[in-house]
Amino acid sequence: MGAAYFYHLTRRPLEDTLPLLLDKALSAGWRVAVRGGDAARLDWLDARLWAGPEDGFLPHGRAGGPHDALQPVLLTTGTDCPNGAACVMAVDGAEVTAQEVQALKRVCILFDGNDEAALLTAREQWRALTKAGCSAQYWSEASGRWEKKAEA
């Protein structure tokens, strides 16, 4: 049974935080689906991931290509995981279900702490998932480093 990890972004933007979390997931041997709600936003994120750090490479692709099943990281607007993901990273308020949390190794929900709508969506997701019996952790970077602030 997996867990939902909520990441409250306040100091670094998504495009800086996501590669760090993806690297950790890949190091654990997991395939990852990055789920967003807007294709144009995922195209933008895809370009940022390809630009990446000069000293590293983050293998990934956009869903809908001929090699989706081979991608270690797949950016998608869909709810399926054609790459056999063990971890879903939901961005920009993308939907996550309790069934997914329970079936996957981990679900990460990344949200912009400077966006009131994103905060409200994350709070609703926390309530829904914990009410459904999912294990959840809330992480904040407000102090300058990631700290676990709550667990259910």
d(CA 2, CA 5) in angstroms, rounded, equals 10
Q: What are phi and psi of 99, to 5 degrees?
A: -60, -40
The structural architecture, per CATH, of the domain 3-151 is 3-Layer(aba) Sandwich (3.40)
End-to-end CA distance of the chain: 14
pLDDT in tens, 95-127: 999 999 999 999 999 999 999 999 999 999 999
Q: What is the pLDDT along the chain (152 residues), one digit of tens a residue?
A: 799 999 999 999 999 999 999 999 999 999 999 999 999 999 999 998 888 766 667 889 999 989 999 999 999 999 999 999 999 999 999 999 999 999 999 999 999 999 999 999 999 999 999 999 999 999 999 888 999 999 99
Contacts of 41 (CB under 8 A, 6+ apart): 92
d(CA 105, CA 39) in angstroms, rounded, equals 25
pLDDT value of residue 53: 67
d(CA 134, CA 97) in angstroms, rounded, equals 10
- Would you list the domain boundaries of the chain? 3-151
**CB burial class (10 A; 0-12, 13-18, 19+) of residue 116?**
exposed
Look up the pTM and report it. Answer: 0.94
